Amino acid sequence: MFASAATSRKTSSAFAGAYRTVGVETGVAAASPHQLVTMLFDGFNTAVAEARSALAQGQVEAKCKALGRALRIVDEGLKAPLDAAGGALTDNLSALYGYVAQRLTQANLNNDVGALDECVKLMEPVRSAWLAIGPTAGVAAQER
């Protein structure tokens, strides 16, 4: 009886995971470039929150996985596509993202919740500014 209940839970969990994956893929496929970057910021915040929770519970593997995801979001999702011709803004964002990546790595190595808090605090103004231009981003793209 217990084996079938466990199997049922695993199957249910697999379906839930597949449903989430399809939902994310569908959201990504239908998203505007502005919405994609918003999803990156949201994913960053979620990953850091998961790492903080895993750290509090002593779950080393989960902490490392979540911080690895946060680091990839910053390095590959936010920093890598910056246009070098963007001038001072690009330079400043690149430096910020580089610093946040460094602090995420330190937080992982040292189990440093303060470093996680610092990363979220540094990223929030950029996220807020990005969200603030949301309504105008679509209008500017349509006018081109």
Residue 111 identity: N
pLDDT of residue 28: 65
Q: Which pLDDT belongs to residue 135? A: 67
Angle at 119 between CA 58 and CA 61, to 5 degrees: 25
Together in a domain, 20 and 37: no
**pLDDT averaged per 10 residues in sequence order, the chain, 144 residues:** 44 44 55 91 98 97 98 96 90 97 98 98 97 72 50
State which amino acid sits at residue 97. Answer: Y
Q: How confident is the model at residue 13, as a pLDDT?
A: 46
pLDDT of 138: 54
Does 119 lie in the same domain as 57? yes
CA 92 to chain centre: 20
Full-model pTM: 0.76
Domain-located, residue 104: yes
Count structural domains, the chain.
2
CATH at 71: 1.20.120.340
- Looking at the fold, whether 8 and 47 belong to one and the same domain comes out as no
Q: Does residue 94 fall inside a structural domain?
A: yes
Q: Which domain holds residue 8?
A: 1-30
